[in-house]
Amino acid sequence: MVHRRVWKEHRINPLVYKEMQREQIIGVFGIILLVVGYFIQILWK
């Protein structure tokens, strides 16, 4: 929530902005991997 608000305002250092964006992408990718792993585990049994 806070990241989204700060991201929209752009009142931060460009390096911090880029790091937050990267952090969010890695987080979403991690969640996707968890879901894919769960479905693979279900299908494997």
Cα angle, residue 6 at apex, residues 32 and 24 outer, rounded to 5°: 15
Could you give the CA distance from residue 27 to residue 5 in angstroms, rounded to a whole number?
17
Once rounded to an integer, what is the mean pLDDT over residues 11-26? 84
- Ranges of H-type helices in 1-45: 2-9, 14-44
Question: Which comes out higher in pLDDT, residue 39 or 19?
Answer: 39
> Quick one: pLDDT at residue 14?
79
More confident: 5 or 18:
18
Residues 28-43 have a mean pLDDT of 96
Tell me what the mean pLDDT of segment 31-39 comes to.
Answer: 97
Q: Is the pLDDT of residue 3 over 70?
A: no
